[in-house]
Structure 1
């Protein structure tokens, strides 16, 4: 009788443990789709990179990673949405330079980006490109552009993907170092800005290379300078701006973030899969085509990048006198 009871208890315990194991397995992260928020409209570099990494992660995770565009407010609307989302590992932000820049540019934000978003994984670092319209602008290089700008006050409109973006601040840095006066025209993303640049409604943009490259390669825009310290390997014929303006340098960086307090399990899983993706030949080739240098590393590595870049751009904002116009 006792032996029978022991056997029954053993069977019940075994069944209980097995059921719990199955439940734990089914609840393993991720157990449902993940949202990846882009704080810009479709068409710009942030959106291009988000869709590239989302497709790769969807395959690796066995759950769909859905890109959701939430543009507006100079990148702040989408960022605030993620900050206020549940910290459960199922909402991510495509982090970009504007996140660090806006910390200084917008003094009355309802969040503290560095404290409220945790770094998950770095994706890529890319130069910006000084691209000009081919419509009624008779210049072929940076020196000629500066000369034309100074000889034609009020005739150069500088487009950007929004106030506070690296596109905007790269231009502001150029203005302060070259003495070239340009009127800043902010758009709600790179897509509409490039459309007007191609049409000649504006004359120049310091755009993230991935979104401008197709238009440059097709001849619809002319690249005259890279914002990186050295020439960009994917466009070796385009000089760096620093070859004309000594000391000029500005690059853009992108990665993934989650709301503060998100589960470490989720952070580590996404980080591991992104690092695997960045090591794949096809991904490396695609990022090279976009002018990007992969930046794999730990969540802490990307967190340091966020902190360092925020500090760097704070100085540029203050020195240039840029405002969130």
Structure 2
């Protein structure tokens, strides 16, 4: 006669022998890193860096999939509807996770707080105000003076409506009391093409987006809107030095669908830690204006919630709406 403990063991053995009963540990197949913007921008660069260096850590092929459009919402919704197992992740940034939910308008198809699981953060970007190199403005004050003397004549570009670039641009309008127009693009890369060609007047964006253009003397940095600044540009001011509430920065990390197991999140956290400890990865991030800052699932979720509260206050004060 089987005792209760022996019955439990026997039941466990039978369950394990049943088809599909055993769940494989993450990762057990190819991994997809989904970027919500066109190739060439900061999101794409970070996605490919993650894919390259996560593959040997996970022992699985890692591919990047660009699903551009709607300020990153298309990609976010795709990942939110994917299996919550850690094999399909979203290269998430503050614009989608903390800003979009605070913008007035129709409810989002995907609520990041409800439908996404923060897995791990990798880095925080320097955020810069840049202008074409052929413009005469040598400082933020020069630009503001010109914009005020020519109301309605200047414009700024962004990676699309509802992006961090729009939040920064509209914040600039609000705090500096300027009349400038918003020109949304389908990603940062095409906006920067027009910026370097002089077809738009200015842009707030990740330093990673414009590192090459700065080095090639195609664009000029006038200010940082993040709260860090950069040793690469010691004389460039931060917007918060003039307007204390004007702080627009962000983060890059990976998020999965709601319900992603904690074990998968911890594996992603471990992968990010190992990547950031790799001198080649660290040097690459810093060269792109990205400061390594790894956070696990709980700390990353707290960062997202804090930024959502902070950006929401700016959005309401400036009357910002998604275009």
TM-score, normalised via structure 1 length = 0.89
Structure 1 residues 243 and 315: CA distance shift in structure 2, 3 A? closer
Question: What is the CA–CA distance in structure 2 between the aligned matches of 1:111 and 1:230, rounded to whole Å?
Answer: 31
Query: Conserved in 1, the CA contact under 8 Å of 2:123 and 2:253?
Result: yes
Q: Could you tell me which residue of structure 2 aligns to residue 235 of structure 1?
A: 233
CA distance in structure 2 between the aligned counterparts of 1:264 and 1:169, rounded to whole angstroms: 32
Instruction: Say which one has the larger Rg.
Output: 1
How far the C-alpha of 1:244 sits from its partner, in A, is 4.3
1:119 corresponds to which residue?
Answer: 118
Cα distance, 1:155 vs structure 2: 1.6
1:142 aligns with 2:132: no
Over residues 94-137 of structure 1, what are the superposed CA-to-partner deviations in whole Å (9 max), with x where a residue is unaligned? 011221211022432112111111110011111211000124x3
Corresponding residue of 1:261: 259
Gaps of 5+ in 1: 1-15
2:131/2:221 contact within 8 Å kept: yes
Q: Does the CA contact (< 8 Å) of 2:225 and 2:246 recur in 1?
A: yes
CA RMSD of aligned residues (A): 2.2
- In 1, the alpha carbon distance for the partners of 2:162 and 2:215 equals 27
State the shift of 1:24 in Å.
11
| Aligned partner of 2:69 among 63, 72, 95 | 72
CA distance in 1, matches of 2:220, 2:305: 34
**Aligned residue number for residue 9 of structure 1:** none
Residues 1:130 and 2:135 aligned together: no
CA distance in 1, matches of 2:48, 2:22: 28
Q: How does 1:200-211 map to 2 (within 5 A)?
A: 200-211=198-209
**Corresponding residue SS for 1:251:** coil
* In 2, Cα distance between equivalents of 1:115 and 1:92: 16
Tell me which residue corresponds to 1:108: 107
1:178 equivalent to 2:176? Answer yes
Does the 8 Å contact 1:37/1:70 carry over to 2?
yes
- Confirm or deny that 1:89 pairs with 2:78: no
Note if contact 2:122-2:295 (Cα within 8 Å) is conserved in structure 1: no
Other structure's SS at 2:138 match? coil
Which secondary structure does the structure 2 equivalent of 1:46 belong to? Answer: helix
Range 152-161 or range 239-248, more displaced: 239-248
Task: State the alpha-carbon separation in 1 of the partners of residues 208 and 264 from structure 2.
Answer: 28
Contact persistence 2:26–2:85 (CA under 8 A): no
Match of 1:31 among 3, 28, 31: 28
284-293 or 242-251: which moved more? 242-251
Deviations 1:127-150 (A, max 9, x none): 211000124x32110001000000
Which 5+ residue runs of structure 2 have no aligned equivalent?
1-12
Aligned partner (choices 26, 41, 45) of residue 44 of structure 1 = 41
